[in-house]
Every structure is written in structure tokens, then in C-alpha cells.
Amino acid sequence: MPESTPPPPAPRVRRSRLALILGPVAVLVIMTQFADALWPDLVNSSPATLIALSARNRYLVLVAGQLDAWVYYLIGTLRLLAPDPFLFALGWFYGPTAIKWMERRTPTVGSIMRQMEKLFARWGHPLVVILPNNYVCVIAGASRMSPPLFFFLNITGTVGRLLLLAWLGDVFQGPIDSVLGWVAQYRIPLLIASISLVAIGAANEARRGRKGMAASFEEFQEEDAEGDDPRAPTDDEDADGRAT
């Protein structure tokens, strides 16, 4: 008798896998929002906490001179690498659909992602080292890059990024100290402004009824399977692909 084709994963299994992949990414996004709200206080009072919440380049430069090297590199490396295995897995399991979803979810960089897709076939290895960002991680997974090779290149690029930012922090230590002093002087109004901006952004997301990452991906996956144009503007985007 001919061998039967294995049945596709049950919907519950697929949803569980998707939640395991995108759930941690959503938590990291929330941590970044906390950092963006509280950075005027944390940048001076607890710089290690700030880069543990969010390893944005500007935060890494600002705190480089305030932390012991081992603390800076340990926390910075772990925080920068934290989303990468999950985004690589998203690309690995869901392929082109994951890339299209990322393009829709971040329409301002959608065209950049499409350029990266074209470059990745030839320059994939240096791209992972030079630009180990969210989009490159998804593309690397979708291209079925060897996981050990991906993590080696990713870690190499991440440590290199930290070395560069620490060097910039050292070169511009004088101006950075002035900025930190100004932030300490005006901490309260800066806190009010930053918390307000994050709250306004969250309120806008709630008003538009934007779904969570896993629900958004499942909905997009269904549209993509039905042959809808995944790059057509959504209800919360205008015709130019910008979020409204």
C-alpha cells in the first residue's frame, strides 16, 4: 500500500507554536515601551535596568560610560539577542508569509525588507553580521539558513555592534555627560512628556482595535492563503502604506 501523507498540524498545535514564537516577542515590545516611558529617570538612576528593558542604540550609547564593561556587554548582548531566536523561528516555520506579515506590520520598512530579500541570496552571511535586526532574522529563517551558522553570525554581529556603540560613547563622553546632566535637571518634565507619548501611542493602538501579534499573524495567514494581496493597505494604513 502507498504511504499516506501525514496530516497537517491541528489548528490548536499551530496556534500553540505561534504563541510560543510571538508571545516572547510581544513581551519584549512591552518592555521597550516601559523603557521609552521611563528612560529620563532610568538613564541616570539605573542604567543597567534601562538597557535590560530596551537595547536601543541611543540608550546603549548614553549608558556606556556609566557601567562596568562586563555589565554593559552581558546585559547588552542578552537583550539584543533576546528576540532573534523567535524571529528566526517565525521565518523558519512560516517562510514567505512571515516576511509579508512583517512588511505589512511595519509598512515604513516594507520596501527595505524587499530589498534585503533580494540581497540575502548573495550577501546573507554579511547581512546577519552587519545588520542583525528583526527583519534580517526573519529573512534568515525563511531562507533556511543553518541555525548554528545563524547564531554564530548573529552573536558576532551583536558583539561588534556593542563594541562600536561603546567606542562612540567613549569618544563623545563629554557631550554625553552634558546630555545626562540636562536630563537629570529636567527629569520630571521629561518623564511627563515621555510617559504621555507612550500612553498616547497605546491609546491609539487600542482605539484602532489592533490585534495582538499572534492573532494578527493568524488573520494575515488566512488572507494570504486565500490569495488576497498582502501588501494592499489595511484599514489602519493609508494608500502610501503609512500607519494612520
- Cβ density class 107-129: b for 16+ within 10 Å, e for less: bebbeebeebbeebeeebeebbb
Residue 146 confidence (pLDDT) above 90: yes
Task: Write down the pLDDT at residue 232.
Answer: 39
The residue with greater pLDDT, 213 or 86, is 86
Mean pLDDT in residue range 185-193: 96
Cα(59)–Cα(107) distance, rounded to whole angstroms? Answer: 25
What stretch of H or E contains 197? helix 187-208
What confidence tier does 19 reach under pLDDT thresholds 50, 70, 90?
A: confident
Residue 155 confidence (pLDDT) above 80: yes
Cα(31)–Cα(49) distance, rounded to whole angstroms? Answer: 11
Tell me if residue 237 falls in helix, strand or coil: strand
Flag the least confident range among 6-20, 37-51, 134-148, 219-233: 219-233
Task: Write down the pLDDT at residue 238.
Answer: 34
**Cell numbers for 60:** 546603549
Lookup result for grid cell 495582538: 212
- E strands, 128-185, where? none
Residue 226 confidence (pLDDT) above 70: no
pTM: 0.81
What confidence tier does 218 reach under pLDDT thresholds 50, 70, 90?
A: confident
Residue 39 confidence (pLDDT) above 80: yes
Mean pLDDT in residue range 156-162: 96
Task: Write down the pLDDT at residue 126.
Answer: 92
